[in-house]
C-alpha cells in the first residue's frame, strides 16, 4: 500500500505541532522543586505571584513560656505577687519624681505638661492653633515593601526565549 506524500507529511507535521504544545504546557523541573503554597502554584507569571513569608517556628505556647520566664525573677517556677507587680512598680517609680510614694497630678501628667510647655512658643500659658498643631502625635507613615525587580525570578534560571520564526 502506497501512502500519498501529502498525507504522510501532514501526519508528521501534526505530530510535531502536538509534541510542541505538550512540551510547552509541562512546567520546567525547577518550578516543581519549589515548595510554594497551593494558591501560589498557578499558571500566573512569576511576577504576579504573591510573596509569602515563611511561617514562624515559635508557637503561642513558646511565647507564653518566654513571658513567664521574664516575670519569674527568682526562677522558682512560680510568679508571686511582687514579681507580677514589679513592672508596674518600676513604672510608678519613674513617675514619682519626689519619691514620696504618692503620685501628684503633676507627676502623673509630666509628659503632657512638658509637651504643652514645649509647644507654648510665646510662654503665655495659651496655645494658638499653630502651636496646638505641634502637639499632634507624629506617626510614621506605613511604607509598602518594595522588592527589587526580578527578585523572585533571580532564584530560578530564566527560561530560554522562543526562537524567531
User: For residues 17 and 36, what is the distance between their CA atoms, to the nearest angstrom?
Assistant: 32
**Helix and strand counts by DSSP (H, E) for the chain:** 8, 0
Mean pLDDT of all residues in the chain? 78
Q: Which residues contact 85 (CB under 8 A, 6 or more apart)?
A: none
Q: Where are the domains of the chain?
A: 96-136
94-133: pLDDT as tens digits: 989 899 999 999 888 988 899 999 999 999 999 999 999 8
Q: What percent of the chain has pLDDT over 90?
A: 19
Give residue 48's pLDDT.
Answer: 67
pLDDT at 52 over 90: no
C-alpha cell at position 37: 503554597
pLDDT bin (cut points 50, 70, 90) of residue 165 is: very low
The residue among 59, 63, 38, 60 whose CA lies nearest residue 49 is 38
Residue 31 in contact with residue 158, Cβ under 8 Å? no
End-to-end CA separation in angstroms for the chain = 36
- Give alpha helix (H) positions in 72-159: 81-95, 105-108, 110-119, 129-133, 151-154
Average pLDDT over residues 63-87: 90
Amino acid at each position: 500500500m502506497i501512502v500519498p506524500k501529502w498525507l504522510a507529511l501532514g501526519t508528521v507535521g501534526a505530530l510535531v505541532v502536538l509534541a510542541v504544545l505538550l512540551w510547552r504546557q509541562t512546567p520546567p523541573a525547577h518550578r516543581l522543586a519549589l515548595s510554594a503554597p497551593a494558591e501560589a502554584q498557578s499558571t500566573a507569571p512569576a511576577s504576579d505571584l504573591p510573596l509569602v513569608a515563611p511561617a514562624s517556628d515559635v508557637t503561642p505556647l513558646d511565647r507564653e513560656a518566654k513571658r513567664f520566664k521574664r516575670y519569674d525573677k527568682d526562677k522558682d517556677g512560680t510568679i508571686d505577687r511582687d514579681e507580677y507587680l514589679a513592672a508596674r512598680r518600676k513604672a510608678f517609680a519613674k513617675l514619682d519624681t519626689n519619691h514620696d510614694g504618692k503620685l501628684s497630678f503633676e507627676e502623673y501628667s509630666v509628659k503632657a505638661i512638658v509637651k504643652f510647655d514645649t509647644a507654648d512658643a510665646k510662654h503665655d500659658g495659651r496655645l494658638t492653633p499653630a502651636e496646638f498643631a505641634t502637639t499632634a502625635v507624629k506617626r510614621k507613615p506605613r511604607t509598602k515593601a518594595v522588592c527589587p525587580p526580578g527578585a523572585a525570578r533571580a532564584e530560578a534560571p530564566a527560561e530560554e526565549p522562543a526562537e524567531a520564526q
